Amino acid sequence: MNWTAIAAIYRFEMARFFRTLAQSFFSPVLSTSLYFVVFGTAIGSRIQEVEGVSYGAFIVPGLIMLSVVMLAISNASFGIYFPKFLGTIYELLSAPVNFIEIVIGYVGAAATKALFVGLVILITSMFFVDIRIEHPVAMAAFLVLTCLSFALLGFIIGIWASNFEQMSLIPQLVVTPLIFLGGTFYSISMLPPMWQTITLFNPVVYLISGFRWSFFGTADVPIGLSLLAIAGFTAICLGVIWWIFKTGWRIRS
Amino acid sequence: MTTILSIKDLRKSYEGGFEALKGLTLDIEQGEILALLGPNGAGKTTLISTICGITSATSGNVTVGGHDIQQDFRAARRMIGLVPQEIALEPFETVANTVRFSRGLFGKPKDDARIEEILRKLSLWDKRKNAVKELSGGMKRRVLIAKALAHEPRVLFLDEPTAGVDVELRKDMWEIVAELKQQGVTIILTTHYIEEAEAIADRIGVINNGELLLVEQKATLMAQMGKKQIEVQLAEPLTSIPAALKQHDLTLTEDGGIVYTYDTHGERTGITTLLNDVAQAGLTLRDVQTRQSSLEEIFVTLVSGGKS
Ligand SMILES: Nc1ncnc2c1ncn2[C@@H]1O[C@H](COP(=O)(O)OP(=O)(O)O)[C@@H](O)[C@H]1O
Ligand SMILES: [Mg+2]
């Protein structure tokens, strides 16, 4: 393993983040506060509790997931799309690095940034509502795994995309609806039975359910299933990336 | 002499079937400066990209320092530095960080003294804290060179390093190339400026349509270029060289004239004796022309597909 190269890629990617640290910090603080004002206060005053948890606290895991997933995707996709767009990818391709090292560098940096924002949102939420975390280790594991797996997806999108429009296509048309319909702001059990069944085909349900379980100890789907879902998703992304580099698809003519 | 880069029957077909390299074979000696001369679209960039791993070869193989570029890509690539034809740089990063990144990417430990040395040599030291986007085009090209040198490569590819750069940078570039050669670095540069090849190369290769048409020591080429020819057209065309003129090195032209080749560097050209002998033989001159073969002429002949 060329660890020096991995560190170089990681540091270079993180530098981009540190240049705009204030922005990276304040924008999630602001948007989270807005969510609490709108959902927690306005709507939350009508919905008192969900499964024994105050509505304000109930939406926190979903909010964190929403931001973390979107950020992991956009950071990773831009991270690899930019070198393609600027032409600087020549250097990556001619360097003594293999695909695993490139992926660790880019995906690691993208996941780190998303993780940072996830923690900022969590801490901001604590100013608005009481939050208890029943399974902190599981919570951390879910958060890290989510950051990593969606950064992998973002990496694939960044390689696949040949223009800026395509970059936002999948996040906007596929991922955002799945997250909103995946129980970010409600419990699956609040839906009519038929929709409950349909919702189970949404992979994000497993993610948010598992994450919420680590906070409050209640879940829409068994926790084992949640773990299995995220592990499976990570494996699929890794497989696709392995294939991309093996064939040179969209990167090596 | 040891071969540092060996290219064997290298072929490259792009998607869509266009064959940009048609079985190219070439050995490059350690420490030499090889200029690859060829018109646009000849396949120069494709050749470099294939060696460096930016595109993949369709067939054939390449070794760098004995390391196969596929089986042993890490060892091979660690030896190579590449300055691409097009300027491609991360605009928001500083010059120093961009160059540091390149060193790390190639697996070399952090060495700020080395980075400083490179930046100073390329007159970039004062700009080290500037974002790349604040630099002029010439400065950006210097950054590309600094990046390529950051990991102390043994083989350096310069793809049209002086296309569209100012005179000062071109001179600097030639100086840097000479200095690197002193340090034993092998340099392969592509260009379509003949003067450039003449000025700095040890060996010159001519490439066109994905084929290597000629590789020759510059000295040998120059010696050929020192040759001058005199063509004598006669009132009455000859069918063979007359016995009286046999002592001269002559060839017969298609329209019955004679061509005499002589060396401009020689003490005596032998023109006077020849013309005397021509008059003695009773031949009447109709016209006399001289011509000098230049690298340009060799190049044009080769590239236009004519006989050399
Ligand atoms: N990615 C590509 N796909 C298809 N054809 C290409 C590609 N890159 C270069 N070519 C073609 O290959 C030939 C050689 O190009 P190139 O190596 O860039 O030439 P040079 O560097 O000598 O100007 C040209 O005809 C060019 O159009
Ligand atoms: Mg070119």
pLDDT digits (tens, 9 = 90+) for B130-161: 999 999 999 999 999 999 999 999 999 999 98
Query: Is A212 a domain residue?
Result: yes
Partners of B188 in the β-ladder: B34, B157
What is the span of the domain harbouring residue A216? 3-247
Full-model pTM: 0.86
* Domain annotation covers residue A67: yes
- From CA A56, how far away is CA A73, in angstroms rounded? 26
A96–B74: do the CB atoms touch at under 8 Å?
Answer: yes
Question: Is A149 among the domain residues?
Answer: yes
- Using DSSP, state whether B165 is helix, strand or coil: coil
Among all bound ligands, the one having the nearest atom to the CA of B47 is 1
pLDDT tens digits for B42-59? 999 999 999 999 999 999
B231, β-bridge pairs: B259, B289
Q: Residue B212: which residues within 8 A CB-CB, separation 6 or more?
A: B24, B25, B26, B205, B206
The rounded Cα B180 to chain-centroid distance in angstroms is: 16
Q: Is A181 part of any domain?
A: yes
What DSSP string describes A105-123? HHHHHHHHHHHHHHHHHHH
For B68-119, write each residue's pLDDT tens digit.
999 999 999 999 999 999 999 999 999 999 999 999 999 999 999 999 999 9
Task: Give B113-147 as a 3 state SS string.
Answer: HHHHHHHHHCCCHHHCCCEHHHCCHHHHHHHHHHH
CB B166 within 8 A of CB B172: no
ipTM score over 0.95, yes or no: no
Ligand 1 surroundings by CB, under 6 angstroms:
A 253; B 14, 18, 20, 38, 40-46
Structural domain includes residue A253: no
Q: What is the least distance, in Å, from the CA of A75 to any CA of chain B? A: 16
Contacts of A100 in chain B (CB under 8 A): none
A186 lies in some domain: yes
Q: Evaluate whether residue A252 is within a structural domain.
A: no
Out of B56, B89, B93, closest to residue A248 by CB: B56
Question: Which of B10, B11, B15, B18 has the most ligand 1 atoms within 8 A of CB, as the residue to mutate?
Answer: B18
How many separate domains does chain A show?
A: 1
Please give the pLDDT value at position A44.
Answer: 66
Domain presence at residue A137: yes
